[in-house]
Structure 1
Amino acid sequence: MNNEVKVVLFDTFESFENLLPLSYTRPVADFRVGIMTIREKWEHYLPGNYSYKTTEYLGEKFPVAVSADEEAVFVAGNVLPDEDLAARVLALESGGALRDRSGLVAFRGSLRQFGELDPAESSVEGDEVSRIQYVYDVFRENGQEICRDYDLLAKRGKGQAPDASVTIIGSVESSGGMPRIYIEDGAVVEGAVLNVKNGPIYIGKDAVVMEGACLRGPVALCDNAVVRMGAKVYGSTTIGPYCKVGGELDNAVMFGFSNKAHDGYLGNAVIGEWCNLGAGANASNLKNDYTKIRIWNYHTQRFMRTDLQFCGLIMGDHSKAGINTMFNTATVVGVGVNLHGAGFPRTFIPSFSSGSPEGGFDNVSIDKFMDTAGMVMQRRGLALTDVDRRIFDTIYRSAARFK
């Protein structure tokens, strides 16, 4: 493939709003689904020079790196690639477009030409592609994407051999000879139980799995993440970079730099970056009457019907929950929320809210939020930049319409 191709991963207004609050702080292509982000997947299948075309206020941090009349390949940032789709995109001629029933998948041409297209125009011809259209699609697609990403990464070799203290359930190798457990350099896995009968387990660089932890594949533990003693991690779960987890997780996705370090349940859930769930926090993923769930949708500004029976917590970046916090089924928590106290909060908590179910909620001042976010990031050796501050200031003003 041509390594010089320029690829622009674009967000539409509708896809951006349907994926709030997770898309408030990142282009959709930076969502982690499986082991890798969507952008990292495309880079594997279609090497080239990548940039973004996203909502205006994120553009300063994630700019378009092509000029108005320069040819590039524009790819919908919510599309999950595979080898066949990448080949079809690369084969597009100048001015050519690939669409499915959900709209534009890819276009080859200039930025000026792209601006004249209607991304919502659909086609019933050809196969449908996999997309992340709503927030719950992240955990719905996660098991399949772990397996797909694993096959890409495990081609590099066998990785580290599991420590002798590790109990493995299932065959260490697939019928094709590919390892079912991949442990990157620097990772430490001791005294754990790894079950690969239903899917592979990926352990990233410098990650740690402590003694007594049980992992049932498909599971992805990304670089520098930690699974603490006695944790139970069920299939289709991704623990992003620098996350710490304990207790019980089932089909949960944590993007990165977030903690659920103690006992408590998290299932069918998506947690952004820089979040913290206190000890004993629990999130329901099933209604008592077993009926299909409704979930808050920012685009329509109402609760939307889904065909899901299982859906847990969706939490935007920099939100926190105190000890013993309880979440109802399909609760959506915005950016910069500070939740504490007893009882169940409502199932939509707008961004920059602070309070409890019994005491009510107040606004978090933007200055207080910035101070806290800066301290949290500094603990990981990272800084809250001026660009980040401008992004959060825009989100803060935008969030007011939901209160």
Structure 2
Amino acid sequence: MNYILFDGPSRNNLLPFTFTRPVADIRVGILTIREKWEKHLGYSTTTVTEDYLSNKYPMVELDENVMINASYLPNKKLVETIKGLKENQAIFQGENVIAFFTKETQEEVDFETYNAIEFNEPILKIENTWDIFAINGDAIQEDFDLLTHDRTSQPIPSSNNVLGSEHIFLEEGATLEFATLNASSGPIYIGKDAEVMEGSIIRGPFALCEHATLKLGAKIYGPTTVGPHSKVGGEVNNSVIFGYSNKGHDGFLGNSVLGEWCNLGADTNNSNLKNNYAEVRLWDYQTEGFAKTGLQFCGLMMGDHSKCGINTMFNTGTVVGVSANIFGSGFPRNFVPSFSWGGSSGFTTYLTNKAFEVAEVVMKRRGIEFSEEDKQILEHVFEETKKWRKN
């Protein structure tokens, strides 16, 4: 069977992260959503997404296909139900489509003609940006169980202080010495060739993905994920870093999500709680205003390729778009549009030729090419987000 992950109606609620990737390639827990589905299904997947992303994330369609809403995270029961789908069958949760069987020749799908299968089991789902950190603890536990089943951890070096060793898993090449690991409140996963430097204090649930680094004396409160090839120092609480991003120095990051190729300057801090303890509002790209989240704790949402200078201060519930460069004293506003250059005193447009120069250098340092496809995606984002920049 051919499995295709589609963005679904939550795509726009997940901006700025879905400006540069399909919903399926969001990381939550240890793995991306696509990686979860592929491990559960035992098959590779392709994607139905926005046209401007389709060159980098193409769709492969065969005579018979199962389409899966990428907002839903797989579990054993759901995967069994999906694998049992027949022609003209669809799985629903309430009014939401989770998955359906389709033929290549079907241009449009009329679900009125489908036999509906209601899925009433508990399931993890991301509908909004803040769900990424809000469900991260449950997602880490599910991924931990999936990745470590019937496997044995590398031994934990004796120099470390450890609580709950049975819930700690070290992949091959992981290194850690003179650290404190407390897995009594959730699992701790240290990925392949990842490093935990001396003096780090970790309380699970926590995932340090492959080739990622915790700097000296880092303080990590779960549920937190540090994605592949990322470097993190200072204090981090309930946050998700997708990958290839750095928070290399002291400073606080809490209830936040960072995309890829982000960099937070030394002593950058974000607020995750308003002084009056009121509900946090976040910028909504669809309504073009600030919308209620229902959350008391919510920090920073930062899109791919965005960066900030030393001592940057982010207010509660700040949304930063793609390829923004923020610096200077004071608090920048709570919504920083993509390709903005400046800070609390005002912004100008960060021109694509300058932004591309930086992206090329940054990615080359990690041995990755800044491709023509990457340029085309960012050029589209630049044009699409022009209306929110004032100049």
- TM class by shorter chain equals over 0.9
Deviations along 1:217-263, one digit per CA (max 9) or x if unpaired, are 11000000000111001010000000000000000100000000100
How many angstroms apart in 2 are the aligned matches of 1:382 and 1:269? 26
Matched, 1:153 2:139: no
Q: Map 1:126-275 onto structure 2 (within 5 A).
A: 126-127=119-120, 129-169=123-163, 171-173=164-166, 180-275=167-262
Partner residue in 2 for 1:177: none
Identity %: 47
TM-score by length of 2: 0.96
How many angstroms apart in 2 are the aligned matches of 1:296 and 1:152? 35
Q: Which amino acid aligns with 1:311?
A: C
Aligned partner of residue 80 in structure 1, secondary structure = coil
How many angstroms apart in 2 are the aligned matches of 1:314 and 1:137? 11
Q: Which amino acid aligns with 1:87?
A: E
How many angstroms apart in 1 are the aligned matches of 2:380 and 2:328? 29
Aligned partner of residue 79 in structure 1, secondary structure = coil
> When the two structures are aligned, how many residues end up with a matched partner?
386
How many angstroms apart in 1 are the aligned matches of 2:110 and 2:11? 18
Matched, 1:36 2:56: no
Deviations along 1:367-397, one digit per CA (max 9) or x if unpaired, are 1111110110001011111111111111110
- RMSD across aligned C-alpha pairs, in angstroms? 1.6
Partner residue in 2 for 1:107: 100
Matched, 1:328 2:315: yes
Q: Is the 8 A contact 2:91 2:118 kept in 1?
A: no
Partner residue in 2 for 1:46: 41
Partner residue in 1 for 2:86: 93
Matched, 1:308 2:302: no
Q: Map 1:322-401 onto structure 2 (within 5 A).
A: 322-358=309-345, 360-401=346-387
How many angstroms apart in 2 are the aligned matches of 1:114 and 1:188? 51
2:3 to 7, 22, 34: 7
- Check 1:124–1:97 CA distance in 2 against 1; reply closer, same or farther (3 A cut): closer
- Check 1:211–1:102 CA distance in 2 against 1; reply closer, same or farther (3 A cut): farther
Q: More displaced, 217-226 or 58-67?
A: 58-67
Q: Is the 8 A contact 1:107 1:114 kept in 2?
A: no
Q: Which amino acid aligns with 1:151?
A: D
Aligned partner of residue 17 in structure 1, secondary structure = helix
Partner residue in 1 for 2:305: 318
Gaps of 5+ in 2: none
Q: CA deviation at 1:17?
A: 1.1
Q: CA deviation at 1:159?
A: 1.9
Aligned partner of residue 376 in structure 1, secondary structure = helix
Deviations along 1:2-58, one digit per CA (max 9) or x if unpaired, are xxx21000013x422111000011111111100001011111211123100101100
